[in-house]
Structure 1
Amino acid sequence: MAKKKKKLIKYNQTIRKIFGGEGFDEGITRVPLDNLIEMAMILSLKEQHLTKADLVKAFRRVWSNGDTADRALITEYLKSLDTTFKVDKTVSSQEARLEKIDEILSTIDHTPGEAVAIRELFEDVKLKKITPKRIQKSLMKLRNAKKRNSLEEKFDGAFDDDGNFHFFHSFAFKIFDEQFHKILELSCRPFEEEEILTLDEEELGKRLESCKESAIRKREEEIKQFLEIASKPNRYLDIDQKLKAIKRIPENCDFAFVPIPSEYLHEILFNQFEIKDIEVLSDSFRLFKKFEKELFKNPEWKVRYKLLLEVQMRWLYQAIWENEHLPIDEDFEMRRNEVEAQFDAELIALKDALLSEAEGLEMRDEQVETIIANSVIDAISQKEVLEIPYKTLKRINRHFARQIEGLKLKKQREELLARTIRDFKNLFPLAREMGRKLIFHVGPTNSGKTYAAMEKLKEADTGYYLAPLRLLALEGYETLKNSGLEASLITGEEQIIDEEAAHISSTIEMVNFQVDVDVCVIDEVQMIADPDRGWAWANAIIGIPAHTVIMTGSEDALEAVQELAEWLDEELEVVRFERKSPLILNSNSTSLKKLEPSTAIVAFSRRDVLALKEQLSGRYDVSVVYGNLSPEVRREEARRFREGESQILVATDAIAMGLNLPIRTILFARDSKFDGQSRRLLTPSEIRQIAGRAGRYGLHEEGFVGALTGPVLNTITELIDEPSPSIRGPYRVMANFDHIDLIAKIIETQSLSEILGFFVKHMQFDGPFIAANIENMLEIAKMVDLYNLDLKTKYHLACAPLSLGSPYLESVFHRYLISLERQEPIPFNLPEHLPQVAQTSDMLFEAEEMVKEVSLYLWLSYRFSNFFIDTENALEARKILNDFIERSLRQGVFARACKRCGKPLPPNFKFGICQECYRGGRQIRRYIKK
């Protein structure tokens, strides 16, 4: 928001310079009509055909809306005119201007209509610039335009600014026993501009008719020649492809090089020449192909890189239609030989230079090659260009002497570190001493596996429940309390500690490996496959000090649990659970107008959820659940649905894990999701996990699964029963602070980012393990390394729940770091000026971001209580914001609206304007062109 405000201020300042100190509303009145029309075309305004007064009103309305993109276009256009529109105090009154115009017109032959047009044209012209010559010239233009308009209407076409006449004509095509017609655009130049005044309309019409006939004959000859070529056998295009390509010929096609549809062109280039990517320029294609290269002829050091080949668009189209050989492979091979020869020469020169520097030391060629390869491979993999970047070359040379001197010492330290941490299971000595028994409750959703585990937990004298989400940890805590057990709740941002409690409910990342219990329940163990959080489940399975460890999860996690139990040499009992109520797949898609109560619609983005909510709100009471909402709001929305205050639930796949809801029917809005890196189809496991929430046992005798559209239903039907691949190792494990401290001492650094990078890159483990994916933690570590803080403080800060994609939260985090460095207390201010409900989706999103700020503050307050002192304010702020979000979700309107007319757009509509406004804009452009 701050950035947007700065941009708006900047645009206002620029406008005042252009208008001589006046604001936009006053200055726009002095912009000439022609410029206003041109500017309206740029912004696609509906008012393009209206008077100047109407256009002024329209632009004032656009400017007052405060859209930065529109203001940027207006400002850039006015700047491009290279003039200012200052108030000219010497301009005569309107009456004087009209008097002078009428005086000049009295000396010139004209019609009443021409007089009106002249007065309008000169209404903003300075008095001294209104001359007989200018008025006479304007009259000529008006008369010329009138003749052109008459000819355009008579001969069904339009003149452009250069005097060329554009028209459409239907041409017959006959090829491969098929006959069809194509309407093509043609142009000709029937006469010069100055001839319009001297010739009468009849002569002008004859010339235009002759010109059109000539253009048509020429085009018929071009089509004939092209069809002769296209009818011949072709190695690239079959008959159907040729026919479809010809039928798609654009209206203004140049038959010297007929375009080939992109899907056919891609098929030719991708399949026949293994092109990996194509970039389309104005008159050429840039083709990219991947190659593999061994460094120093070592097959273990392979790099993949891209080569670029640019081919002229005209040549490529012609060659394909004329069935010519395309020497693309040969051109790429020539380019490859040149690039690799130059690269090999660079590698050898660098190696010789380093060996020369290491002369007298026991340094083998292989060692130098390894040092070079480690740096060069990383650099090439980032840019996919086969060259040694200058920065990489400097870095290798700069550090080589130090690498040589400390090589043996560094190897000794790395070997010591590897021996210390390699046997990961022995880093948890308390768990190893207990002779644990492992139990795996395996089954689908709604099978009672977690319920049975919680019953065992309640029977134990001491116990631990490890949940994947804060919301589930809270539910676990309440379940224990409702059973009459004293319990504590521990999450990242909330801790309810009962000193007398023998049971703990916790989020899995907050587990304490120093607390031994009789029974520990690890919920949703299939999460061990999660690339970002899976380490928490692996660490818990290996290290939780419990006599009995009960895991719950889906069938695809069974092989992973068995592998870990075998590696730990601990007894494993597998208890299978079956679904308690049948799940029925709908045979037809379901309309939004025919939803039954207790229906949940699953979308996969916040935008789709809010759009669907808006579509349904007129007919149903709707609850919404998506990941960006705080647990408190999600819980309240779930309560409303559970208790019948709302009939329909619209949610992301956040409902797939743990929310116990009385859902009878699950409907999928989409069959794909964006997983943070790419958009992909849902997996069978994800579909079953979501669909399984239908038909809650004890509430519904059966559950139903369907979709909003036929294609999505087909995907769900195809995949829901498809077996999921078993989760297999290696499993990710995470270093705790003791490990971090050990690495810091051995590699002698206090830089947390270097320590974490070393852990990820160099740690090797006995057993099926690799270092955890800690990209987010590494990015935060780079931030905290900028401040003078001790290593333990940095480590805890790097574990904070910070959303790196949020500029707002990153700025808040930096403010916290500055205060921690200065040892200053950090207050928390209550939100101000909140309306009753959010007016826009952006306003709702800002409130959600502020709730995340509260969560971050509370999380840090449990680790740095001396500095984060305003927990009461933070808790009050969370309540205020959650109430605001909850009210907004019940009452707000968040559907995307057309940028022009303001009408709601459909949920999955690709464009920013509706179809009616798009068509209207095209008609206006055609009108102005005429």
Structure 2
Amino acid sequence: MNDTPVSPAEAAILASGLSFTAKELPSLIREVSRALPATETTVATALLKLRRRGYVGRLADLASRAGIAWARREDVRAAADSVTSIDASDDTLHAALDAALLPRLRDAGRTPDAALEAIAAEIAETGGALTPPRLYELARAVAVAHAHPDPARFATNARIAEESRRAERREAEVAARTSKREEIRRLRAWEQSLVPFQPVPDLLGCTAKEALRWIAAGLIPVARRLPGKSGERWEFDPAELAPLRAEVPLWRTRDTTPAAPVLPQGRGANAAIARVAALDRYAAHFATARALIRRITLVTGPTNSGKSYLALNRLAESQSGLALAPLRLLAHEFREALASRGVQASLTTGEERLLVPGSRHIAATVEMCPFRTPVDVAMIDEAQMLHDPDRGAAWTAAIMGAPAREIFVLGAPDCIPMVRLIAALCGDALDEVSLERKGPLIAAKAPVGLGDLRKGDALIAFSRREVMDLRAELIRRGRRVAVVYGALSPEVRRAEAARFNSGDADILVATDAIGMGLNLNIRRVVFSAMQKFDGTQRRDLNVQEVKQIGGRAGRYGLHEEGVVAVLAGAGSPEALKALLLGAHETPAELRPLVQPDADIIAAVAAEIGSTSLFGVLARIKRAVLRKDDPNYRLADLEAAMSIATAIDGVTRLSLLERWTYALCPIDLRDNGVPRLARWALEHGAGRTVSPPEAGKLPPPDRASGEELQRGEKVQRRLVAWRWMAQRFPDAYAETREAEAETARLNAWIEDVLRQQRRSSQRA
């Protein structure tokens, strides 16, 4: 017999007569000791609480073995919390999970079909897969949750429809892979047929000296130029050279050679592709702009120097005008700025159109520049985006193609060399105006502690996670916080900015998304880090980034000066000051980026005799714009080629329809390509594509960080859907539903973020 004294908690546990394991006893004693004096009910409640933790693991295992891929972690936890038995069987746990899943399956969509589609898409997007039997079980559960009159029939129909779609997907995937292999084979075969310079004289029946002279004159096309150890290595297409042999006697009789000869060329040869694409003569693509006598006024200066104010005033004075912005948010602001000057403007962005009858002014995003409608004045903002690897080509097109007689190009000083080159390539007159900041901007001498942040400060981080972590810590300290980061919709960003500007929030925590647009009453900008991940590597901030973001401090008319500081422990104030005062760095590459448009895609496809979008893009990538082209660079086509690879098998969509899909703004980190491929397949099959839905949203004051992020993802998917709806309204027909869901999500996300005020008041 054990005579060791026991604690009151242990005594109560032993007296309860309940069964427990030796492993459970220490934890059970701790639980019971918090509720002394303890009764049998107290002990049973403590044991149930303890065992519910184990039920979570058992439920997750049961769900996995049963193939219930639609059970989330929160569903499993809710099921475990609902169990009231301290000795629950597997059947009891299964029943609890079914009950916990019921409301989510019901709330996932407005109808059983919408709910089933939303849940199946969520599983696919997280890397899961539903076998036909599992899909049947999910469909049946959804039907039961929606009180469908015949769940079995609904599930059977859903399974049959899914099996048909899977067959379509397999057929499309096989077709896409086959097309890609064929295009790669054709390209490799052509490359393998090329010959170096040495055989060229024999193929043409001339001397090596003559061949070199005629190559220099452009009479003999070089099929491919490759870097070599001792300079550039030329390769030639025998099929292109064969018809030129008959021209040799004529060339020999000429004293001079034409500057731009028109030569018979082998079909699909690189030289022919480069000729029809004409990206080395990109400015000539914009016929309306080239028909006008244009004058460009380049207005450069730091943030808060009045660049937009100057251009908007001139735009408002004109009979017709165009304001091009980098973001939908800023396009809205330009429209409102024109309205404040008495000018009503229409709005055109990737996912929306607001037409004002009779208006001759348009506010638009840069990618939506109307190239065929002449106006008196155009303004193009944030021209330093010319250097952006993803969107720079849109600024090249806008500046070269804006159909206006007077064009204001606004930007930071580092855009000056590239704009000068663009003006020269277009033959446009160029005036340059340099503005100074309206109020002083100074660097703080000492770092700023998190507890030293004051009302009107903006704390800058470089990822959503860092923003939310800093927000949580400031809330814990009782501060009222607004946030701005890239994943938020323009509407939510504006609402958060309004809360900060009105004083409803003391501190703004933001990413560098505040660098463009948003009028913010910031007194001091504080960098929480002096490095950022740029999509490729983690690197130090550069001069332009510090000036662009730091320049948001000290808004003219509200603050006498702007202050830029660094958070304690994040870097050196001296290093920050050096960047803030540093000269603008001249970019290493000054040639503007260009990319093909629909006309170029069609011309190249006809030239190579292919309907494969991947094949067309691959040949463009190989054939156009030599790396040493003095004027232009080809934009990165990798994202478009990834989409082309996924959708080339949807043969019911034309080549140009697939090209439109390749331009859709998707989130590659959120399985954007597979989702777009599913939409394309539905479109190609003649079915309508339903907009993404978020289902029932939890009360804002109880929403978790995971649920907030899930809502943001649905919001971004809706952006892509609405973008497609502008181009294919028949296939993407439910625009009202998409707009209503967008508005609902915006309101909910803003409510979730606003809860910090109540949290700080309770703290």
Is residue 2:587 matched to residue 1:595? Answer: no
Residue 407 of structure 2 corresponds to: 549
Residue among 514, 517, 522 paired with 1:663: 522
Q: How far apart are the structure 2 equivalents of 1:376 and 1:70? A: 60
Residue 270 of structure 2 corresponds to: 414
Q: How far apart are the structure 2 equivalents of 1:683 and 1:494? A: 35
Is residue 2:643 matched to residue 1:780? Answer: yes
Once the two structures are superposed, the pairs formed by residues 756-795 of structure 1 within 5 Å of their partners are: 756-764=617-625, 767-788=630-651, 789-795=653-659
How far apart are 1:431 and its partner, in Å? 1.1
Deviations 1:303-349 (A, max 9, x none): xxxxxxxxxxxxxxxxxxxxxxxxxxxxxxxxxxxxxxxxxxxxxxx
Is residue 2:615 matched to residue 1:754? Answer: yes
Q: How far apart are the structure 1 equivalents of 2:318 and 2:198? A: 60
Once the two structures are superposed, the pairs formed by residues 865-876 of structure 1 within 5 Å of their partners are: 865-876=729-740
Structure 1 length-normalised TM: 0.54
Residue 696 of structure 1 corresponds to: 555
How far apart are 1:867 and its partner, in Å? 1.5
Q: Contact 1:829–1:873 (CA<8 Å) still a contact in 2? A: no
Q: Contact 1:63–1:71 (CA<8 Å) still a contact in 2? A: no
Q: Contact 2:456–2:506 (CA<8 Å) still a contact in 1? A: yes
Q: How far apart are the structure 2 equivalents of 1:476 and 1:433? A: 27
Residue 260 of structure 1 corresponds to: none
Range with bigger deviation, 621-630 or 415-424: 415-424
Residue 487 of structure 2 corresponds to: 628
Once the two structures are superposed, the pairs formed by residues 740-889 of structure 1 within 5 Å of their partners are: 740-764=601-625, 767-788=630-651, 789-807=653-671, 809-828=672-691, 830-837=693-700, 839-889=703-753
Deviations 1:823-844 (A, max 9, x none): 1122336532211126322211
Q: Contact 1:621–1:648 (CA<8 Å) still a contact in 2? A: yes
Q: Contact 1:528–1:538 (CA<8 Å) still a contact in 2? A: yes
The one-letter code of the counterpart of 1:508 is: V
Is residue 2:325 matched to residue 1:457? Answer: no
What secondary structure sits across from 1:498 in the alignment?
coil
Call closer, same or farther: CA 1:533–1:701 in 2, change over 3 Å.
same
The one-letter code of the counterpart of 1:631 is: P
Q: How far apart are the structure 2 equivalents of 1:597 and 1:712? A: 22
How far apart are 1:614 and its partner, in Å? 1.0
Deviations 1:779-830 (A, max 9, x none): 11222212121012111111111112113x4454233212211111223365
Residue 576 of structure 1 corresponds to: 434
Q: Contact 2:483–2:508 (CA<8 Å) still a contact in 1? A: yes
CA-based RMSD of the aligned residues comes to 3.5
Q: Contact 2:274–2:620 (CA<8 Å) still a contact in 1? A: no
The one-letter code of the counterpart of 1:720 is: L
Is residue 2:374 matched to residue 1:528? Answer: no
Residue 177 of structure 1 corresponds to: none
Q: Contact 2:266–2:272 (CA<8 Å) still a contact in 1? A: no
What secondary structure sits across from 2:539 in the alignment?
strand
Deviations 1:176-234 (A, max 9, x none): xxxxxxxxxxxxxxxxxxxxxxxxxxxxxxxxxxxxxxxxxxxxxxxxxxxxxxxxxxx
Range with bigger deviation, 603-612 or 583-592: 583-592
Q: Contact 1:466–1:522 (CA<8 Å) still a contact in 2? A: yes
Once the two structures are superposed, the pairs formed by residues 636-715 of structure 1 within 5 Å of their partners are: 636-714=495-573, 715=575
How far apart are 1:364 and its partner, in Å? 6.3
The one-letter code of the counterpart of 2:640 is: M
Residue 435 of structure 1 corresponds to: 293
How far apart are 1:418 and its partner, in Å? 2.0
Range with bigger deviation, 508-517 or 719-728: 719-728
Q: Contact 1:858–1:874 (CA<8 Å) still a contact in 2? A: yes
Deviations 1:668-726 (A, max 9, x none): 11111111111111111100100000000011111111121155243312322222322
Q: Relative contact order: is structure 1 or structure 2 higher (C-alpha 8 Å, sep ≥ 6)?
A: 2
What secondary structure sits across from 1:698 in the alignment?
coil
Call closer, same or farther: CA 1:630–1:65 in 2, change over 3 Å.
farther
Residue among 64, 69, 72 paired with 2:56: 64
How far apart are 1:65 and its partner, in Å? 7.1
Residue 336 of structure 2 corresponds to: 478
How far apart are 1:367 and its partner, in Å? 8.6
Q: Contact 1:492–1:510 (CA<8 Å) still a contact in 2? A: yes
What secondary structure sits across from 2:410 in the alignment?
strand
Q: How far apart are the structure 2 equivalents of 1:651 and 1:470? A: 18
Residue 719 of structure 1 corresponds to: 579
Q: How far apart are the structure 1 equivalents of 2:196 and 2:472? A: 70
Q: How far apart are the structure 1 equivalents of 2:336 and 2:59? A: 48
The share of aligned pairs that are identical, in percent, is: 35
How far apart are 1:362 and its partner, in Å? 10
The one-letter code of the counterpart of 1:739 is: I
What secondary structure sits across from 2:473 in the alignment?
helix
The one-letter code of the counterpart of 2:273 is: L
Q: Contact 1:664–1:703 (CA<8 Å) still a contact in 2? A: yes
Residue 600 of structure 2 corresponds to: 739
How many aligned positions are there?
538
Call closer, same or farther: CA 1:616–1:426 in 2, change over 3 Å.
same
The one-letter code of the counterpart of 1:740 is: I
Call closer, same or farther: CA 1:426–1:866 in 2, change over 3 Å.
same
Q: Contact 2:335–2:363 (CA<8 Å) still a contact in 1? A: yes
Call closer, same or farther: CA 1:695–1:416 in 2, change over 3 Å.
same
Call closer, same or farther: CA 1:775–1:363 in 2, change over 3 Å.
closer
How far apart are 1:486 and its partner, in Å? 2.4
Call closer, same or farther: CA 1:759–1:55 in 2, change over 3 Å.
farther
How far apart are 1:864 and its partner, in Å? 0.6
The one-letter code of the counterpart of 1:628 is: A
Greater C-alpha radius of gyration: 1
How far apart are 1:859 and its partner, in Å? 0.9
Deviations 1:126-172 (A, max 9, x none): xxxxxxxxxxxxxxxxxxxxxxxxxxxxxxxxxxxxxxxxxxxxxxx
Q: How far apart are the structure 2 equivalents of 1:544 and 1:645? A: 41
Once the two structures are superposed, the pairs formed by residues 214-363 of structure 1 within 5 Å of their partners are: none
Q: How far apart are the structure 1 equivalents of 2:537 and 2:553? A: 28
Residue 260 of structure 2 corresponds to: none
The one-letter code of the counterpart of 2:717 is: E
Call closer, same or farther: CA 1:746–1:616 in 2, change over 3 Å.
same
Q: How far apart are the structure 2 equivalents of 1:619 and 1:491? A: 39
The one-letter code of the counterpart of 1:592 is: L
Call closer, same or farther: CA 1:66–1:806 in 2, change over 3 Å.
farther
How far apart are 1:520 and its partner, in Å? 0.8
Q: How far apart are the structure 1 equivalents of 2:732 and 2:725? A: 5
Structure 2 length-normalised TM: 0.65
Deviations 1:531-558 (A, max 9, x none): 1111111111112111011101111111
Q: How far apart are the structure 1 equivalents of 2:519 and 2:622? A: 41
Call closer, same or farther: CA 1:892–1:757 in 2, change over 3 Å.
farther
Q: Contact 1:486–1:500 (CA<8 Å) still a contact in 2? A: no
